[in-house]
C-alpha cells in the first residue's frame, strides 16, 4: 500500500461510527466487575478490632514484582496490635510495580492481606504510588479507606480475593458451602461461594461433618 492509499484509509475512518465509548468519571453506569477481580489491597482486622498482620514477611518473599516491603515488631505487652507475638510495624506496597497476581493473599498465614476490586486510582507523584500501612489498614468500621485519588464504587469491597480463597480451597467442589476464613471487622463471616457441582453427596456430607 502506498502513501496515498494509506492516507485514504485514515481519511475514511474519520466518518465511520466509533466503536469505543468515552471514559467518564461519575457519569453513567460502568461495566460490572467480575466477582474475583484483583485490585487495590487492604490489610484486614479481626472482629475484635485487632490487626491480622503479624509481620512475617511471607507476602514480600513470594511477591514476583518485589513491590511489598514488610518489617515486623514485637507486640507491646500492655497494648498488643495483633493477637500474636508480633505485628506488622512497617507495611508498604509500591503500585508502580504491583501486577495484582494475588500471590501475597495465598501466602498470608493469617488472612491479613486481600485484594478489593478497586483498580481506578492515579497518582500525581511517585510517592503517592507507595501505599503505607496507615493507608492499607481498614478503618474502625472494617471498610477500606477511600483516598482522594481513588474512584470507589459500591460493592468493590465485597467478594474479594479473600472470599474466593475462603470458600473454594484447591478448587474442590466438596468444599462448597464450607467457610475456611475467619471473621472480619465490619463483615463478620462472609457467605460461602455457591454454584460448584459435586455428585458424591455422601463424601461432601462427611467433609462438612469433619469441618464442623
For each of the chain's 212 residues, which pLDDT tens digit applies?
Answer: 677 888 888 888 888 877 666 665 555 567 778 777 889 999 999 988 999 999 999 999 999 999 999 999 999 988 899 988 999 999 999 999 999 988 998 889 888 999 998 888 888 888 889 999 999 999 999 899 998 888 888 888 877 766 666 555 555 666 666 676 777 887 877 776 666 555 555 565 666 666 55
CATH number of the domain to which 195 belongs: 3.30.70.3270
Residue 166 lies in a domain: yes
With respect to residue 4, please indicate whether it lies within any of the assigned structural domains.
no
Please give the residue range of the domain that contains residue 127: 33-211
Nearest one of 92, 30, 33 to 60, comparing CA atoms: 92
Q: What are phi and psi of 15, to 5 degrees?
A: -105, 0
The span from the CA of 116 to the CA of 151, in Å, is 12
Q: Is residue 158 part of a domain?
A: yes
- Is position 18 within any domain? no
Domain count, the chain: 1
**Which strands form 130-131's sheet, in the order they lie side by side?**
68-74, 86-94, 130-131
Within-domain flag for 2: no
Residue 5 lies in a domain: no
Residue 189 lies in a domain: yes
- Residue 10 resides in a domain: no
Total residues found in the chain within this entry: 212
Amino acid at each position: 500500500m502506498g502513501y496515498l492509499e494509506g492516507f485514504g484509509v485514515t481519511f475514511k475512518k474519520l466518518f465511520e461510527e466509533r466503536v469505543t465509548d468515552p471514559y467518564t468519571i461519575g457519569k453513567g453506569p460502568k461495566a460490572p466487575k467480575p466477582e474475583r477481580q484483583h485490585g487495590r489491597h487492604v490489610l484486614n482486622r479481626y472482629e475484635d478490632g485487632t490487626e491480622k498482620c503479624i509481620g512475617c514477611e511471607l507476602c514480600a518473599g513470594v511477591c514476583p514484582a518485589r513491590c511489598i516491603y514488610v518489617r515486623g515488631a514485637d507486640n507491646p505487652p500492655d497494648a498488643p496490635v495483633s493477637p500474636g507475638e508480633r505485628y506488622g510495624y512497617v507495611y508498604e506496597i509500591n503500585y508502580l510495580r504491583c501486577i495484582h497476581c494475588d500471590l501475597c493473599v495465598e501466602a498470608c498465614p493469617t488472612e491479613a492481606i486481600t485484594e478489593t476490586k478497586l483498580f481506578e486510582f492515579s497518582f500525581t507523584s511517585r510517592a503517592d504510588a507507595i501505599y503505607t500501612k496507615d493507608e492499607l489498614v481498614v478503618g474502625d468500621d472494617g471498610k477500606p479507606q477511600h483516598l482522594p485519588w481513588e474512584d470507589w464504587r459500591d460493592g468493590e469491597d465485597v467478594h474479594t480475593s479473600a472470599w474466593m480463597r475462603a470458600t473454594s480451597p484447591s478448587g474442590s467442589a466438596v468444599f462448597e458451602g464450607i467457610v475456611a476464613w475467619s471473621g472480619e471487622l465490619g463483615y463478620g463471616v462472609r457467605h460461602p461461594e455457591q454454584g460448584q457441582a459435586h455428585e458424591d453427596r455422601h463424601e461432601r456430607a462427611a467433609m462438612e461433618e469433619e469441618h464442623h
